[in-house]
Structure 1
């Protein structure tokens, strides 16, 4: 627990009581930048461990791709929090930590006697962050506060699903679990803000992240469109409701994205596609007029893109207007950008012989860069290390193991 990792958060210790996606994504972000994250798992392990996919040579089925993708750079300790001695052990660990993060349903930790108020009695500077589907009563009541929630619920009720889909009648879930991942990133931001305050004042606080609230905040356009124009937004397909051209267009071998709504960009498109005749067309001169005539603009651009490959379009548009091919992972791993930016990284996984690839660290620093120090851990892999560092004697740890308080 004392190794030098470097990173902007070196010296910050976090007790991670989270499972599945939102909470682990949050704590992984902090671990990537040097925080000492101690993942406290129940005896059965994080519920994401069994989800897969698994490597062919993995006979343990204890670290799948899902789990690995959000639990690198952490240490794992298994504690039975249903046992009184397990809860006392956690309290002892919290005293030497800066942050506690959990994503249980509201009041679960309160019932265990591990509430923010209880833990902060012994540790006034503690930052305690909770990620829940509908928030925590400490910062604002909700009629749904006791409801369980996952990504799909947050996407649905936060408004994201309601503006995503091929047509006005067909809402569609966004592919990645943004209803979890974005709240996790917001939680990391909230934790850092509260930590900064605690370092200045000596006073910690409770950080409440409501998944549905976060999704609404990143869908803010639906609010201002309603407030300013009385519009109830619906699924928008692959185009933008107020910017034109701005969306996805067909190529002969896939799709490309073009985001060029300013008049200057539009003029460049006209020249690049050999349609100088459109430069004098007043009905397409401004973004507002192009949006009014959206179908015509889209047809003009599609007529050009659909007869050319993504590579040909890249050569025509790349660097000249906001443009990018629609990539899948096979494209991404071959593109030099992601290699040069270290966004596909290799690390170890104790359940498989060959290295595994994970997404890299997207927040870059010049002086204290984050990095992947270690892959995901087996459940309880660091129990002895963590407890020894916390002052537990060897025979005491052995007794806790014997009685299955820890693993």
Structure 2
């Protein structure tokens, strides 16, 4: 069975995470991805270890580069640019995350490339986008989390600002880039023309503030850090148990009544101070204190079993060992073992995309530096002698 994006060729000139994550998603869906790096390798994540595989590939690099072929190409040389232009003529999408103006200086910006291929879709991922006063500033995930408001609402008043444990701005930008590219591909069926897709980490993170941003825009009140509490729902947070902590997420008044019955405090749900969510928000601390004392009487597993039985949302706080041992993770194939040329095999996180007729498949390991350079150049019509000459001149 072919992938949903079979027949789409994407030139991936991006590095680190947002761009590679985007193209991995599209590659998982069947698109042909050609990862282009400078000679010797220019994706910094290759060296972001430990841990590394037995063959030296970093775990960070492996996370976002499967289902791609890899080639090297020196885009600072005229010969390298000409090779890329040949690839552009035979491709559907170019994605890059260089500083603004870099591709244009090389003669490889969108306005220049669309002359030779009017159907090309050109996706640029930068810290702050192609316009605005910050457009030339470098943008790293940590900085974006700070500037885009995320750290101001993460953590507690006691802890101070805290970043999210993964580079979430990069991940969000990769997802938005994939959405933008797919939308442009679909529109091309109508117009026959490509277009540019301008994605910024800053914009993506602002968009993902969702309800917290809306709360501020409606009320004008600057939100405070609330730790594991929810600003709009009570009780919806972590609670101590007899042997640790767990999450209880009560989404409506009916669930709250069920929780109170389970905790043997049914009268609490009838008290005017707690009967409705708006009132529970007003009397948050008093209510949380009562529930916390009851939750300490049993273990997390005991509470989870009981809460699941009555339909009150709850969950354990898993570490990664516990997570990847979960039957749900195994059943959903969220860990994949694939062959690797230098490490025999590696384990990768599986795709969350489950398509019935065109399922996601991992067909290629994350490529070694320039692993497919010869193969791709030969497909473009270059003879081996020309390829050897390119290598001697450090064009590849």
When the two structures are superposed, what TM-score results if normalisation uses the length of structure 1? Answer: 0.93
Indicate how the Cα distance of structure 1 residues 328 and 169 shifts in structure 2: closer, same or farther if over 3 A, else same. Answer: closer
Relative to structure 2, which stretch is displaced further, 368-377 or 310-319? 310-319
1:168 touches 1:236 (CA, 8 Å); kept in 2? Answer: no
Match of 1:87 in 2: 81
**Aligned residue in 1 for 2:251:** 261
Cα pair distance change 1:49/1:301, threshold 3 Å:
same
Alignment of 1:5-404 (within 5 A): 6-45=2-41, 46-55=43-52, 57-58=54-55, 61=56, 63-136=57-130, 141-167=131-157, 170-318=160-308, 320-353=311-344, 355-404=345-394
Q: What CA distance in whole angstroms lies between the structure 1 residues aligned with 2:7 and 2:326? A: 36
Quote the Cα distance in structure 1 between the aligned partners of 2:65 and 2:263: 47
SS where residue 44 of structure 2 aligns? coil
1:307-327 CA distance string (max 9 Å, x none): 433222221112511111111
Which SS does the other structure have where 2:178 is aligned?
helix
Contact 2:37 2:72 in 1 (8 A): yes
Give the match's secondary structure for 2:46. coil
* Secondary structure, aligned partner of 1:285: coil
**Matched residues in 1 for 2:240 and 2:384: separation?**
64
State how far apart, in whole Å, the 2-side matches of 1:32 and 1:297 are. Answer: 47
- Which segment is superposed worse, 326-335 or 309-318? 309-318
Distance in 2 (alpha carbons) for counterparts of 1:35 and 1:375: 15
Distance in 1, matches of 2:67 and 2:296, equals 44
What is the root-mean-square deviation of aligned Cα atoms in Å? 1.5
CA distance, structure 2, for counterparts of residue 333 and residue 30 of structure 1: 25
Q: Tell me the alpha carbon deviations over residues 356-396 of structure 1, each in whole angstroms, 9 at most, x when there is no partner.
A: 22111011111111122222110110111111222222222
Q: Which runs of 5+ in 1 are unaligned?
A: none
Q: CA deviation at 1:149?
A: 1.1
For 1:396 and 1:252, how far apart are their aligned partners in 2? 71
Query: Which stretches in structure 2 are left out of the alignment for 5+ residues?
Result: none
How far apart in 2 are the matches of 1:53 and 1:204?
41
SS of 1:327's partner is coil
Equivalents in 1 of 2:82, 2:53: separation in Å? Answer: 40
Q: Secondary structure at the match of 1:366?
A: coil
Q: After superposition, give the CA deviation of every residue in 1:21-80 in whole Å (9 maximum; x if it has no partner).
A: 11111111101111100000112311110112244633xx3x200000010111100001
* Conserved 8 A contact 2:121-2:195: yes
User: How far off its partner does 1:169 sit?
Assistant: 6.8
